[in-house]
């Protein structure tokens, strides 16, 4: 009897374990997919490149643009963003490894549209960026848009810190859907 109970317990036990494993592994797989798409900024990167403005996700620019930015930090859009060699090397590697790239699955592949062979340094100068903001530009027709008008992404995209630029997540008052 005791032995029988033990067997039953063992069966139930392994069933439970199986369930946990199944859901557990499923959870990890789902989590893995989510993690690949979300922006999980690197702490040192944010400290270095988030001091003056929003720390742009590396996936918003091709590696060539990041390399150009990192080469010219002492004259960074008329500002000085120089840092020590060790930090610069770390940041360069982080940017290169996570850059916008053909064939790399990304929420931001629309930014690759009509990418010139020599990509611009600014995200806001990418043809794909301009295309994604066409309806906004139409709305602002006649307004004198200074250089850098679109640079503070977080002004309009309220979840930019999480790398979420979906139309549904615009700040109130911005964009065609919320006006
Ligand atoms: C000392 C302040 C400062 C620091 C530090 C700084 N930036 Fe900037 N960054 C600026 C300014 C100013 C602009 C131009 C903003 C504008 O036109 O409104 C800019 C613009 C940019 C843009 C272009 C945004 C667009 O319009 O598409 C990128 C990309 C960028 N910075 C990346 C970086 C990276 C990477 C680092 C870290 C290595 C960094 N920045 C550190 C001041 C800084
Ligand atoms: C002045 C407000 C404003 C600023 C600043 C702005 N955006 Fe946008 N963005 C919009 C609007 C509005 C749309 C939706 C346009 C449409 O529906 O056609 C949009 C669309 C997008 C999309 C496409 C989203 C989708 O679901 O198709 C991306 C990606 C994006 N923005 C990224 C950025 C990034 C990166 C920055 C900063 C470099 C930025 N935006 C700055 C207003 C802004």
Average pLDDT value for the chain:
83
The H or E element containing residue 43 is helix 43-49
Over residues 149-168, the pLDDT tens digits come to: 999 999 999 999 999 999 88
Cβ(174) to ligand 2 under 6 A?
yes
CA distance 52 to 69: 15
Cβ(158) to ligand 2 under 6 A?
no
The number of folded domains in the chain is: 1
The H or E element containing residue 96 is helix 85-97
Cβ(158) to ligand 1 under 6 A?
no
H-helix segments, the chain: 2-37, 43-49, 63-71, 85-97, 127-132, 134-139, 153-156
78 domain residue, yes or no: yes
Task: Compute the residue count for the chain.
Answer: 179
Over residues 27-54, the pLDDT tens digits come to: 444 444 443 445 889 999 999 999 999 9
Determine the structural domain holding residue 82 and report its residue range.
43-169
Which ligand places an atom closest to the C-alpha of 39? 2
pLDDT of residue 105: 84
Cβ(132) to ligand 2 under 6 A?
yes
The CA 156 to ligand 1 mean position distance, Å, reads: 18
23 domain residue, yes or no: no
Q: Is the pLDDT of residue 14 over 60?
A: no
Residue whose C-alpha is closest to residue 132's, from 95, 104, 107, 162: 107
Which pair of tokens denotes residue 105?
Answer: 């699955």
18 domain residue, yes or no: no
């Amino acid at each position: 009897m005791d032995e029988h109970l033990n067997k039953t317990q063992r069966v139930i036990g392994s069933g439970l374990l199986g369930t946990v494993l199944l859901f557990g592994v499923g959870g990890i797989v789902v989590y893995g997919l989510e993690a690949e798409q979300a922006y999980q900024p690197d702490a040192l990167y944010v400290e270095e490149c988030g001091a003056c403005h929003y720390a742009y996700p590396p996936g918003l620019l091709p590696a060539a643009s990041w390399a150009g930015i990192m080469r010219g930090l002492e004259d960074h859009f008329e500002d000085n963003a120089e840092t020590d060699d060790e930090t610069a090397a770390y940041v360069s590697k982080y940017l290169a490894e996570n850059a916008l790239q053909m064939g790399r699955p990304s929420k931001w592949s629309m930014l690759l549209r009509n990418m010139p062979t020599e990509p611009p340094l600014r995200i806001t100068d990418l043809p794909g960026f301009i295309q994604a903001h066409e309806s906004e530009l139409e709305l602002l027709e006649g307004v004198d848009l200074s250089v850098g008008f679109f640079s503070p992404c977080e002004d309009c995209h309220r979840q930019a810190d999480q790398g979420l630029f979906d139309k549904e997540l615009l700040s109130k008052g911005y964009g065609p859907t919320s006006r």
